[in-house]
């Protein structure tokens, strides 16, 4: 294998491993760098084979390039769609707003959850009749459920407790939506056909797919991500997650 391949590929893998191990919120970026490094090494192996197995090497190099191009085009198209959905609904007014949980650091909301809570507070101020369903269970390293953390944050800032409901079983977005709709149906007698959903702007596209699976017309309420590098990482992660949702 030529030196340029193993140096470049190995560099990507090394940096990816370091990023994964050191940067708590950038695990996906680390895995992505490792994948790029591995792809470069595969190209290096195929290039090294061309003298002994020229036809086989050429076939697999062409095939690999075609696959990479297809993946890149699909990723770009998905990214554009995510960007379109990131703006949310023009008029997200609804009787119910479902707030999708995110991580809790001990008993405090994580950066992502704080951003969603600020968007929720603004939404409730603009829609004084709306009921908020705070959805999220308790994960590893969390001293309380995401729902309870959100409840405390909002009530401390003047949101009336009677406007809040806690759904504390969900462990992923699909369960966030399904369990929140079950809670609404159990308390109010019927599942709504339409509801607002608060989440990070990059997450609204996938949330709309999962809401559609539950028969819900979603009105997106975007929470702005303040850190550009984190946003870029999560956008790439959502591209993969959207395709996983569609295929599986």
Domain boundaries, the chain: 3-85, 96-247
Q: Find residue 139's DSSP bridge partners.
A: none
pTM above 0.85, yes or no: yes
pLDDT tens digits, one per residue of 69-84 = 999 999 999 999 999 9
Residue carrying structure tokens 């990479």? 68
pLDDT tens digits, one per residue of 16-35 = 999 999 987 899 999 999 99
Two tokens at 72?
Answer: 């890149």
Residue carrying structure tokens 């023009």? 90
Band (pLDDT 50/70/90 cuts) for residue 130 is: very high
Please answer whether residues 102 and 146 qualify as being in contact, where contact means their C-beta atoms are separated by less than 8 angstroms: yes
What is the reported pLDDT for 166?
98
What is the reported pLDDT for 52?
87
What is the reported pLDDT for 140?
83
Please answer whether residues 151 and 134 qualify as being in contact, where contact means their C-beta atoms are separated by less than 8 angstroms: yes
Band (pLDDT 50/70/90 cuts) for residue 153 is: very high
Architecture of domain 96-247: 3-Layer(aba) Sandwich (3.40)
What is the reported pLDDT for 5?
93
Sign of CA pseudo-dihedral 76, 79, 83, 84: positive
What is the reported pLDDT for 115?
98
CA distance 238 to 225: 14
Asked if pLDDT for residue 104 goes beyond 90, the answer is yes
CA distance 32 to 58: 26
Closest CA to 83 of 238, 241, 247: 238
Residue carrying structure tokens 């007698």? 189
Instruction: Give the single-character DSSP code of 86.
Output: T
Which residues, 6 or more positions from 247, have their beta carbon under 8 angstroms from its beta carbon? none
What is the reported pLDDT for 228?
93
CA distance 15 to 40: 14
């Amino acid at each position: 294998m030529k030196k340029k391949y193993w140096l470049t590929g190995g560099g990507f893998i090394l940096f990816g491993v370091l990023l994964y191990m050191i940067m708590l919120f950038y695990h996906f970026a680390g895995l992505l760098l490792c994948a790029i490094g591995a792809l470069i090494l595969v190209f290096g192996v195929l290039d090294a084979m061309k003298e002994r197995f020229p036809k086989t090497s050429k076939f697999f190099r062409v095939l690999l390039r075609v696959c990479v191009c297809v993946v890149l085009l699909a990723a770009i198209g998905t990214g554009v769609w995510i960007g379109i959905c990131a703006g949310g609904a023009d008029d997200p007014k609804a009787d119910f707003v479902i707030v999708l949980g995110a991580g809790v650091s001990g008993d405090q909301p994580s950066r992502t959850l704080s951003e969603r809570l600020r968007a929720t507070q603004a939404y409730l101020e603009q829609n004084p009749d709306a009921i908020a369903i705070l959805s999220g269970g308790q994960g590893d390293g969390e001293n309380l459920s995401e729902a309870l953390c959100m409840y405390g944050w909002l009530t401390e800032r003047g949101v009336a407790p009677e406007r809040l409901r806690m759904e504390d079983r969900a462990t992923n977005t699909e369960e966030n939506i399904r369990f929140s709709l079950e809670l609404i149906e159990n308390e109010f007698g019927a599942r709504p056909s339409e509801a607002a959903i608060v989440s990070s702007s990059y997450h609204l596209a996938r949330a709309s797919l999962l809401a559609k699976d539950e028969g819900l017309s979603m009105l997106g309420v975007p929470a702005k991500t303040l850190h550009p590098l984190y946003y870029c990482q999560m956008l790439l992660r959502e591209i993969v997650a959207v395709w996983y949702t569609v295929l599986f």
